[in-house]
Amino acid sequence: MTFRGSLKPHPLLVSAGWLNAPDTQFVLQTVMDGGGTARIVGGAVRNTLLGRPVKDIDIATSVHPEEVMARAERAGLQAIPTGVAHGTVTILAGHKPFEVTTLRRDVETHGRHATVAFTEDWSADAHRRDFTINALYCDADGTLHDFVGGVADLTGHRVRFIGRPEDRIAEDYLRILRFYRFTAEYANGGIDGEGHLACSALQEGLERISAERIRAELMKLIVAPFALLSLSEMDEAGILPRILGRAGDLVTLARLVGIEALNAIPPDPIRRLYALAVREPDAAAALKEQLRLSKTEYERLADLQLPDRAFDTREPETWSQVYIYRSGAPAFRDGLLVSWARDVAAEMNDSAYLKRLWLPDRWTVPVLPVSGKDVLALGIQSGPEVGQILSLLDQWWMAAGFPDDAALIHQRLHALVNVKER
Ligand code: ATP
Ligand code: MG
């Protein structure tokens, strides 16, 4: 069924701040200056109709990429040829990037790889996009264009492929993960059975997709509002173990999601990934390879070694304080939340865990009141030894529960210096 939006400005679009912003209007006018049409497409239109925040602004245009570059430069805007061969130019206006892509239609070559040709046919461009809710366009004045029934699917919370799912997946296997990601974000707890079946049947194609692209989709999926639904379906189909390279622990993840929701803690992709996939000590390194995690992401996974006394609510708070002192409050919270999720005997509003969770707000991280200068003043030559003494003093200070008795601390420092000097 084809649903065409009436060709009148849509009230939600007309009043959207991002559309009325002078930068947006200027970019649209610049691209069209000299002939041709430019429209906003994708996430910005979709999210505005849903009343959700808009992240980035994608523009589709009948103007060819070299001409887009020329028009932008003529208007004094910086234009970056991000992927001119595919038709994409990034225009910077007010320090914001606008991705401008020339209308395309898919051309089959040898029945295998889909290449693209530029076109002036808006409906053809809509049909080569992935899901109906992602193929909505709007003019500079807020007029909505819907060639594939996207508005009806948005209203019905359906994430549906445009055309036969099998065909669309075979063109680009990343669409399997995009299907589960958008389902987790927009389908309100339902899933399109036809799409799911096709993804399940064609999942081997994911082997052809780079780890970086898989990682990017997974990181967005795992924090989406209906992540659990998508991940359970993916797990049942065998897609989740395929992309993680190991079995996923959905029970722990479900508890973590519940604890976060109940206590208004914003989700974090690495914390959730840890809950889902890091059980054994070598899992972090394996995931780093499997998903090409960044160094920082990997270190967050690897540094979190569970179990740890710091996250055991029966232990004194000092252990938690030492953890916060060493690794910071965010790492402490991650560890505590995952430990709580794994402690199946604990309720999701357990008061002991809750009290410990907010420890960083009740307790100010102390600063060792001794510096390198104090060590030098005791006659130690500047060099690595100064650091070693400070580090030993620091360890003692932590273990002693951060005493603020200056005399005691200096007594200890003297003792350490004397040992070194002997
Ligand atoms: P987000 O809010 O995540 O940015 P988005 O819908 O804008 O959502 P993008 O990845 O920025 O998603 O892509 C912009 C648009 O390009 C999509 O809405 C879709 O129409 C199209 N698109 C992106 N990736 C694909 C793909 N792999 N296959 C087909 N169409 C795609
Ligand atoms: Mg986008």
Could you count the other beta carbons within 10 Å of the beta carbon of residue 359?
Answer: 18
Q: What is the CATH number of the domain that holds 214?
A: 1.10.110.30
Q: What is the pLDDT of residue 84?
A: 83
What is the CA(176)–ligand 1 centre distance, in A?
Answer: 13
145 and 173 belong to one structural domain: no
166 and 261 belong to one structural domain: no
6 and 152 belong to one structural domain: yes
229 and 318 belong to one structural domain: no
What interhelical angle do 250-262 and 329-342 show, nearest 10?
120
- Which atom from ligand 1 is nearest to the alpha carbon of 172? 27
260 and 336 belong to one structural domain: yes
Tokens of 134: 């992602």
Tokens of 194: 């036809």
Task: Name the residue of 130, 153, 167, 185 to mutate for ligand 1: max ligand atoms within 8 A of Cβ.
Answer: 130
149 and 31 belong to one structural domain: yes
CA 124 to the chain's CA centroid: 31
Residue nearest ligand 1's atom 7 by CA: 43
Tens place of pLDDT for every residue, the chain, 422 residues? 344 546 789 999 999 999 999 999 999 999 999 999 999 999 999 999 999 999 999 999 999 999 999 999 999 999 999 988 889 999 999 999 999 999 998 776 544 455 678 999 999 999 999 999 999 999 999 999 999 999 999 999 999 999 999 999 999 999 999 999 999 999 998 999 999 999 999 999 999 999 999 999 999 999 999 999 999 999 999 999 999 999 999 999 999 999 999 999 999 999 999 999 999 889 999 999 999 999 999 999 999 999 999 999 999 999 999 999 999 999 999 999 999 999 999 999 999 999 999 999 999 999 999 999 999 999 888 899 999 999 999 999 998 889 989 999 999 999 998 876 66
Q: Which of 244, 268, 300 is the last residue of a domain?
A: 244
Task: Name the residue of 134, 210, 217 to mutate for ligand 1: max ligand atoms within 8 A of Cβ.
Answer: 134
Eight-state DSSP code of residue 297: H
226 and 269 belong to one structural domain: no
361 and 380 belong to one structural domain: no
Of 127, 120, 119, 140, give the one whose Cα is nearest residue 44. Answer: 140
281 and 252 belong to one structural domain: yes
| Ligand nearest to the Cα of 182, by number | 1
295 and 235 belong to one structural domain: no
Helix, strand, coil percentages, rounded to 5, for the chain: 55, 10, 35
41: enclosing H helix or E strand: strand 38-41
Which domain covers residue 56, as residue numbers? 1-156
What is the CA(258)–ligand 1 centre distance, in A?
Answer: 29
Q: What is the pLDDT of residue 189?
A: 85
Question: pTM of the predicted model, to two decimals?
Answer: 0.91
Q: What is the DSSP string of 197-228?
A: HHHHHTGGGGGGS-HHHHHHHHHHHTTSTTHH
- Which atom from ligand 1 is nearest to the alpha carbon of 101? 16
| Nearest-angstrom CA–CA distance, 341 and 113 | 44
Q: What is the pLDDT of residue 270?
A: 98
CB-based contact 303:274 (threshold 8 Å): no
Phi, psi for 109 (deg, rounded to 5): -120, 130
What is the CA(39)–ligand 2 centre distance, in A?
Answer: 14
- Which atom from ligand 1 is nearest to the alpha carbon of 47? 2
Of 40, 2, 41, give the one whose Cα is nearest residue 20. Answer: 40
Eight-state DSSP code of residue 266: P
48 and 109 belong to one structural domain: yes
Of 92, 110, 107, 38, give the one whose Cα is nearest residue 67. Answer: 38
311 and 383 belong to one structural domain: no
| Nearest-angstrom CA–CA distance, 2 and 322 | 62
CB-based contact 145:138 (threshold 8 Å): yes
Q: In terms of DSSP bridges, do strands 96-102 and 57-61 run parallel, antiparallel, or are they unpaired?
A: parallel
Number of residues that this document lists for the chain: 422
Residue nearest ligand 1's atom 13 by CA: 42
Q: What is the pLDDT of residue 235?
A: 98
Of 353, 122, 146, 175, give the one whose Cα is nearest residue 256. Answer: 353
What is the CA(333)–ligand 1 centre distance, in A?
Answer: 33
Q: Is 137 helix (H, G, I), strand (E, B) or coil?
A: strand
Whether ligand 1 lies within 6 angstroms of the CB of 175 is answered as yes
| Nearest-angstrom CA–CA distance, 257 and 338 | 10
What is the CA(99)–ligand 2 centre distance, in A?
Answer: 9
CB-based contact 238:201 (threshold 8 Å): no
Q: What is the CATH number of the domain that holds 67?
A: 3.30.460.10
- Which atom from ligand 1 is nearest to the alpha carbon of 181? 3
Whether ligand 1 lies within 6 angstroms of the CB of 56 is answered as yes
What is the CA(70)–ligand 1 centre distance, in A?
Answer: 25
What is the CA(200)–ligand 1 centre distance, in A?
Answer: 21
Distances (CA, A) of 300 to 10, 126, 141, 255, 380: 45, 40, 46, 20, 36
| Nearest-angstrom CA–CA distance, 392 and 405 | 17
Q: Computed from CA positions of residues 90, 212, 270, 227, in that sequence, does the dihedral angle turn out positive or negative?
A: positive
Q: Which amino acid is at 156?
A: G
Q: What is the pLDDT of residue 107?
A: 76
- Which atom from ligand 1 is nearest to the alpha carbon of 54? 2
Of 267, 237, 236, give the one whose Cα is nearest residue 253. Answer: 267
Q: Which of 156, 189, 215 is the last residue of a domain?
A: 156
Residues 6+ apart with CB under 8 A from 142: 9, 10, 11, 13, 14, 16, 19
Q: What is the pLDDT of residue 3?
A: 47
What is the radius of gyration, based on Cα positions, of the chain?
A: 28
Q: Which of 244, 266, 292 is the last residue of a domain?
A: 244
- Which atom from ligand 1 is nearest to the alpha carbon of 135? 20
Tokens of 14: 């007309």
Domains in the chain, number: 4
What is the CA(98)–ligand 2 centre distance, in A?
Answer: 10
